[in-house]
Amino acid sequence: MTERIVIENLATIPEGNVTVAGWVDKVRDQKKVQFVVLRDESGAAQLVHPRAEESDPIADIISGLATGTFIRVTGELKLDERVKLGGLEIKIADIEVVTAANPETPIAADSGIDKRLDWRFLDLREARNNLIFRAQTTLEHAMRTYWIERDFIELHTPKLMASASESNAELFEVEYFEGKAYLAQSPQFFKQMAQSAGFGKIFEIGPVFRADPSFTSRHATEFISVDAEISWIDSHEDVMKMQEELLVAAISAVREKHGEEIKELFDVDVVVPTIPFPRIPLAEAKKIVAERGYEVPRKDDDMDPEGERQIAAYVAEKYGHEFVFLTDYATSIRPFYHMRNADDQTITNSYDLIWRGTEITTGAQREHRIDILEAQAREKGLDPTELEFYLDFFRYGVPPHGGFGMGLSRVMMLMLHQPNLREVTYLFRGPNRLTP
């Protein structure tokens, strides 16, 4: 059997006989000539078959092709600048139906997102959706490259835990032999364990689970978290510096490899941010937002989504930047393990990273002193005896450290200017979706 050539490589080979395979995207069945748009995992190409005046088995096969049918075609590759699909076409010499598709497809180009998610494997055949995951692969590879070149260690932390990794809220409980376990809300405790173990600098890209009943455009019950933790820091500023360098490297890689295609299919320019990203203390950000005419509700001392959009608009106007670090979050809304400011115990050495009005990251310097850590846990209403396995990490020497967690789907959603996570998640999981 002749070796199959993927469509994106056709432009790199001389004219002559080739074999391609993929699914039927479109058929134009004309009186004298037939055209088939064939798509594979790399792109699309035009196939052509002039009808014979007498018996024509190839024409009969083409006339019966339904969209989505998988075919294998051997024919003569010809360069033709008139052809819109890559300036080349293949004159069919032989065609084989590998698997036929049902003639009526369950989704269309104008189907809603929920209907498309019901038939996600068909939805993913679209060139736009294929590009999302090729760009995501490039983004992850660039992040790993950044870390590995700087001697970070990659970890794979457990997703089954005996107790909560953040708080007792938003936990999925599962049966575990004679007892129970919980799906990990984050790799937080194990990232910090690595600092006590002397690993120094670590990262992980892996799933986390949140039993959050939210139905917003940016929440999911299972998502991929991008995490890093580093030792021997002076403050959360060291973590922010590492993260902004990481994002510049990753976004630059996507722009270089996929920028033109993203512009063509999404009408989006991939913008590589400049360093340093703007930094604004949360209290100051709230004042700025108030001056713009929006009062952030005082509940929880946090910045709400509209406040995030307003401060992002301010940063875009003043600095021409898509990113902003909001720093110095209140002790009242941060976890017990965030280090508090040495001069003001009401705020923490922490930050959120906002990209075009949406939070993508929470980061902080961690508290590494066991006596203070225990006291802060009690202040939060936690029983230190239930955190013994975690607190033990700090009883045998641990360096000052900090890190962040970042949602991968949020990054992709914002980079490609998509309306929600569901568009950029391979198989989305939410409160009312567990299939396919």
Domain presence at residue 17: yes
* Token digits of residue 252: 């630059």
Percentage of residues in the chain having pLDDT higher than 70 = 98
> What are 129-148's pLDDT values in tens digits?
999 999 999 999 999 999 99
Residue 167 has pLDDT above 80, yes or no: no
Domain presence at residue 106: no
Beta partners for 225? 206, 407
pLDDT, position 79: 87
Q: 334 and 250, same structural domain?
A: yes
Domain presence at residue 280: yes
> What are 234-268's pLDDT values in tens digits?
999 999 999 999 999 999 999 999 999 999 999 99
Residue 54 has pLDDT above 80, yes or no: yes
Confidence at 165, pLDDT banded by 50, 70, 90: low
Q: 387 and 289, same structural domain?
A: yes
pLDDT, position 141: 98
Collapsed DSSP state (helix, strand, coil) of residue 332: helix
Q: 137 and 37, same structural domain?
A: no
Annotated binding site: 166, 210, 359, 362, 366, 407-410
Report how far apart the first and last C-alpha atoms of the chain are (Å, whole number). Answer: 35
Domain presence at residue 332: yes
Residues 428 and 421 sit within 8 Å (Cβ to Cβ): yes
Q: 367 and 248, same structural domain?
A: yes
> What are 103-121's pLDDT values in tens digits?
999 999 899 999 999 999 9
Domain presence at residue 352: yes
pLDDT, position 1: 61
What domain range includes position 87? 7-99
- Measured distance CA(350)–CA(340) in Å, rounded: 9
| 213-217 mean pLDDT | 89
> What are 411-435's pLDDT values in tens digits?
999 999 999 999 999 999 999 999 9
Residue 166 has pLDDT above 90, yes or no: no
Residue 298 has pLDDT above 80, yes or no: no
Collapsed DSSP state (helix, strand, coil) of residue 44: strand
Residues 6 and 41 sit within 8 Å (Cβ to Cβ): yes
Annotated binding site for ATP: 359, 407-410
* 88-99/16-29 β-pairing: unpaired
Q: 188 and 51, same structural domain?
A: no
pLDDT, position 186: 93
Q: 306 and 202, same structural domain?
A: yes
Q: 28 and 172, same structural domain?
A: no
pLDDT, position 197: 98
pLDDT, position 45: 95
Percentage of residues in the chain having pLDDT higher than 90 = 90
Annotated binding site for L-aspartate: 166, 210, 362, 366
Domain presence at residue 360: yes
Domain presence at residue 363: yes
pLDDT, position 87: 87
Rounding to the nearest 10 degrees, give the CA dihedral for residues 285, 358, 168, 282. Answer: -10
Q: Which of 336, 140, 351 is nearest to 253 (CA)?
A: 140
pLDDT, position 168: 64
Look up the CATH number of the domain holding residue 204: 3.30.930.10
Q: 182 and 53, same structural domain?
A: no
* Token digits of residue 62: 């083409």
pTM recorded for the entire structure? 0.94
Confidence at 293, pLDDT banded by 50, 70, 90: very high
Domain boundary among the residues 49, 70, 99 is at 99
Q: 46 and 131, same structural domain?
A: no
Confidence at 325, pLDDT banded by 50, 70, 90: very high
How many other CB atoms are found less than 10 A from the CB of residue 388? 11
Q: 211 and 159, same structural domain?
A: yes
Domain presence at residue 45: yes
Q: 385 and 313, same structural domain?
A: yes
pLDDT, position 163: 77
Distances in Å between the Cα of 122 and the Cα atoms of 7, 17, 170 are 20, 30, 32
pLDDT, position 53: 82
> What are 25-46's pLDDT values in tens digits?
999 999 899 999 999 999 999 9
| 337-343 mean pLDDT | 97
- Measured distance CA(352)–CA(286) in Å, rounded: 14
- DSSP assignment, residue 79? E
pLDDT, position 407: 97
pLDDT, position 170: 85
| 366-383 mean pLDDT | 96
pLDDT, position 15: 93
